[in-house]
Amino acid sequence: TMMFEAEDLEQASPATISRVGMIYCETRNVGWRPLRNVWLDSLETEFNGEFAEQRDNLEQYFEWLFLPAVFYVQNYCRIPAPISIGMMCASLLRLLTCFFSSPEGFASDQAKVCESLFIKALYWSVGAAVDGASRPKFDQYIRLLLTGETNEENECHANFLSKNRSYNQEEFGPRKALLVPKCDDEGCDMIFDVRFDAKKGLWVPWVEAGVRSIIPKSASYNSIVVPTVDTVRHDWLMNELLLNNFHVLCTGDTGTGKSVSIKQKLINGMDEKYSSIFLNFSAQTGANQTQDIIDGKLMKRRKGVFGPPMGSKCIIFVDDLNMPAKEEYGAQPPIEILRQWMDHSGWYDREETVYRELIDLQFIAAMGPPGGGRTFITQRYVRHFNVLNFAPFSDVSLTRVFSTIADWFLNKNSFQSAVKAQSLPMVKATIDVYNTIALNLLPTPAKSHYLFNLRDISK
């Protein structure tokens, strides 16, 4: 028996299938529960056995929250980079691994901590894959689940129950979370805007209200990065995943700060033992070129084994991941060579035709939504990543960013107080004009250039 992990049968004709007796097995026949069960079985030995007693509770959290969350996302939300239920489950488990490995310690009420960390992981695995417009809807539905207010009168939940007869509505319907996150602070409208502090056992805002960023007078305009709830939480999530040896894929529209956030993290936010390689993909990028750039930056550890200098790790940042053109059979060669490393930890030296094992590498990538030269990339590659969608900045975040920059400019150039007082109204008016233009001046075949992003505001 030969088994192939094919994404679809697009390149297989009916004659091919009938002659070799091919059987196509859908992923739903396997399901996501084996992934969960294997991870739960490891709790006896992982994390010093600290969470072994919570095995049954964690299993219940999956049945209670994960299944309806995935159903809602797949049926009522827009996902820029499509991912399967198995990939969502794997992403959730990676985040739980990061949270349970925290060196900061945990509060005494382990059941409350465990449940809250699961909710946090659910939001940043299943919820992180949706676009900005879908996040409020996702948040509202999960809140109904957490407060025990779901019933068959809710159209979305009724649809879920009709498609998932095994879901125990009698048990899970009235169930309430031990600690329901509150979003009462300024700028905190959703659970996405707060985080769970496992040491204190409390949900707290990502950014404390009233905290202002101080920009040095000597700073250049292009180098200014103002911390917002978006930049802070993205930085924290990338840090947790990278430190625990997991790969990260950042998606989002142009101008949402993907590349800037990643580059700032790799250049200024990582320990000295981490080095980095930057790759920029384009439609003309080839597999050989990609392989040569990476091989050229690594050194020989021992026979057949290459990697960064001993005692260090290398993080490879691939920008515009989905730009390479597809070949005759639908594959993208640069992505396939990277996937080969993901699956087999190495590739072949093209001159000597010997296998080269590459160690101590990690990948972080960024890509925009398909369209305009960008394409969908193979699920066989995406499954190795935790997908983190960068949603467009909210008006609150935009006001915070540009008012801080405007204040810096006016103070730096010693403008009069009357002029300085117009900083906030000017920023709000600019954002209002931008929102109106983006809403009403939509792209058409005759005016395909009507695409607006944050770069237009900054100009």
pLDDT classification of 214: cutoffs 50, 70, 90: confident
Tell me phi and psi for residue 77, to 5 degrees.
Answer: -125, 160
Phi-psi map region of 313: left, alpha, beta (phi>0 left; psi -120 to 50 alpha):
beta
pLDDT at 209: 60
Phi, psi of 279 (to 5 degrees): -120, 135
Lowest-confidence segment of 65-69, 73-77, 148-152 by average pLDDT: 148-152
The pLDDT value given to residue 280: 93
Residue 27 pLDDT more than 90?
no
Q: What is the pLDDT of residue 211?
A: 61
Q: Which of 140-154, 172-186, 274-288, 335-349 has the lowest mean pLDDT?
A: 172-186
Helix (H) or strand (E) holding 381: helix 379-382
For the whole model, what pTM was predicted? 0.87
pLDDT exceeds 70 at position 154: yes
Closest CA to 28 of 173, 155, 164, 131: 164
3-class SS of residue 150: coil
Reduced to 3 states (helix: H, G, I; strand: E, B; else coil), residue 329 is: coil
What is the rounded CA–CA span in Å between residue 326 and residue 346? 23
Residues 316, 364 contacting (CB under 8 angstroms)? yes
Token pair 């960023």 is at which residue?
Answer: 213
Quick one: CA dihedral 115, 120, 125, 127, positive or negative?
positive
Q: How far is CA 386 from CA 296, 352, 415, 439, in A?
A: 27, 35, 47, 31
Question: What's the average model confidence in pLDDT over 106-118?
Answer: 92
For residues 55 and 407, give the distance between their C-alpha atoms in angstroms, rounded to a whole number. Answer: 52
How many CB atoms sit inside 10 A of residue 158's CB?
13
Residue 257 tokens read as: 């700060």
Answer whether 194's CB lies under 8 Å from 221's CB.
no
CA–CA separation, 20 and 14 (whole Å): 10
Q: Which of 284-298, 358-372, 443-457 has the lowest mean pLDDT?
A: 443-457
Query: What residues does 435 pair with on adjacent strands?
Result: none
Task: Check residue 207 and give its pLDDT.
Answer: 76
- Greater pLDDT, 315 or 220: 315
What is the pLDDT averaged over residues 273-282?
Answer: 93
Q: Is residue 297 pLDDT above 80, yes or no?
A: yes
Nearest Cα neighbor of 121 from 250, 241, 258, 33 is: 241
pLDDT-derived band at 186, boundaries 50, 70, 90: low
Contact 229, 187 (CB under 8 A): yes
Is the pLDDT assigned to residue 306 strictly greater than 90? yes
pLDDT, averaged across the chain: 87
| Cα(208)–Cα(296) distance, integer angstroms | 44
Give the torsion sign (CA, 89, 93, 94, 96).
Answer: positive
Neighbours of 27 (CB within 10 A): 12
**Residue 322 scores a pLDDT above 70:** yes
List CB contacts of 191: < 8 A, sequence separation 6 or more: 119, 123, 139, 142, 143, 181, 183
